[in-house]
Chain A
Amino acid sequence: MDFWSLIGIWVAAFLTLSIYSVLYRDNPFYRFAEHLFVGVSVGYGIVLSIYQGFIPLAWKPFAAAITGESMSGFIKLIPICIGLLFFARLSPRHTWLIRYPIAILIGFGSGIAIPKVLRANIFEQTHGTIAPFAEIAAGTLSGWDIFEAVLIVVGVICTLTYFFFAVEHRGPVKWLSKVGIAFLMIGFGSAFGNTVMGRVALLIQRVDFLLNDWIGAILTIF
């Protein structure tokens, strides 16, 4: 193991233990690691956004336009100027100019969302819910498969009923809504279980690092 890898393991181990120290109580080591994490993450985000966003999409086409390779690069001046308007926020007199880039980004996001959400989340999800019934008609599904297909349709309808506030939840609507809550609880329980297991996997990975990489490196010295 080379010198810098060894230093890296010690630094990572120190920061890992510093963050875990908050489980006892708030302390200077945790605060140091927490603030360092903020600074390093922001710095990393800036570097990535420049190298993966600004340079290939704006700077290179613009530089090509300046050198005369491709005149279409001059059009990139428009989004650059719009982006610079974000800094109007720093001047109280011109702060209203920030509405321009925000309006463009929000309009862009809304416009792109409507067809994509319609296609991926409404049509595809509805199709996925109903599609097994075509196979029932073809006679290719077992009794258990049919039960699952019906269960999914009932679950979707009941869940949607729970979120349907245009009618008062009384009578049959109330019961459908109650079944919807049961499905939602199963959904939230699954999400919770998966989240916990994901976090525990990260914890195992960090403990594995401390035990094998860090303490293992110490043991190799002796």
Chain B
Amino acid sequence: MKRQVPLVLCFVFGIVMILTQFSPHSFSQGVYKEVISWALIIGPFALVLATVTLIQTHTARIRRRTEHWQYSLVVFAGLIIMVLIGIPFGPQNTIFEWLYNNVQLPMDATTFSLLAFFIVSAAYRAFRARTFEASLLLITALIVMMGNVPVGDLIWNTVLFWTPWEDGTSWWRQWILDNPNLSARRGIILGVSLGVISQSIRIILGIERSYLGGGD
């Protein structure tokens, strides 16, 4: 009951989703669409559970007065304001959109732009051209970066004007992306896909059971 039923459910849903994709019959397509809508309904409950866990964690921090516990109140403030405005009035509400545009969106973009600093400092340590492979990685990254900005072509046309390529930096960037980069990506995609298929078969057949967790 505790382990066998989930294994059976996993097998049934997995097989149904495989079979329905191979059959163009209207009944099969109806089942396919219905099961997809089921997954989209079940998914948000996991998000709510994750939110409950987040609330439990921060409540514990406040109760125990751990270091920087005051910031947990800020988490609650942001969460409660968004939910209290968003759920009754909807995501098209003016205040909700104002909060999204002036609070969430700027912080989202700023947080990701911070990576520009961290990634460059990490690259400085990692890319020191000690080996052939590291040099290859460094040169490719430089060409791709310089090919993305107009100054790259300006440098090429000034210094390497005698080569057969006009705007050579962006030309080589595009060539790298379309050829050696594409073949490496295809190799990775093929390898990963074979892994995904074999793992999916193992899960459906009940060979891989780690998702059930420990215990009875």
Contact = CB atoms under 8 A, between A and B. Distances in A.
Interface of A: 4, 7-9, 11-12, 15-16, 19-20, 22-23, 31-51, 53-54, 57-58, 75-76, 78-80, 82-84, 86-87, 89-90, 96, 99-118, 121-122, 125-126, 128-129, 148, 151-160, 162-163, 180-197, 199-200, 202-203, 205-206, 209
A39 B144 contact: no
B19 to A, nearest CB: 8
Interface in B84-106: 86-87, 90-91, 96, 98-106
Contacts of B187: 155-160, 162-163, 180, 183-184
Contact of B49 (A86, A156, A188): A86
B87 A152 contact: no
- The contact size tier of chain B is 35 or more
Contacts of B105: 12
Contacts of A107: 9-14, 17, 203-204
B5 A50 contact: no
B201 A114 contact: yes
B75 A35 contact: yes
7 contacts: A40-B82, A46-B47, A46-B82, A78-B38, A107-B17, A186-B136, A199-B116
A79 B68 CA distance: 40
Contact of A22 (B87, B100, B114, B132): B114
Q: Which A-B residue pairs are the 10 nearest by beta carbons?
A: A159-B187, A155-B183, A43-B82, A39-B78, A111-B17, A189-B140, A193-B144, A187-B184, A47-B86, A83-B45
A37 B104 contact: yes
Nearest to B116: A199
A25 B39 CA distance: 43
A57 B40 contact: yes
B197 A86 contact: no
Contact of A122 (B86, B148, B190): B190
A35 B98 contact: no
B141 interface: yes
Contacts of B190: 121-122, 125-126, 156, 160
Nearest to B20: A111
B3 A8 contact: no
Given A46-B83, A107-B12, A199-B116, A19 B41 contact: no
B155 interface: no
Contact of B6 (A4, A99, A121, A186): A99
Contact of A156 (B68, B186, B193): B186
B142 interface: yes
A187 B181 contact: yes
Contact of A125 (B109, B136, B145, B189): B189
A117 B193 contact: yes
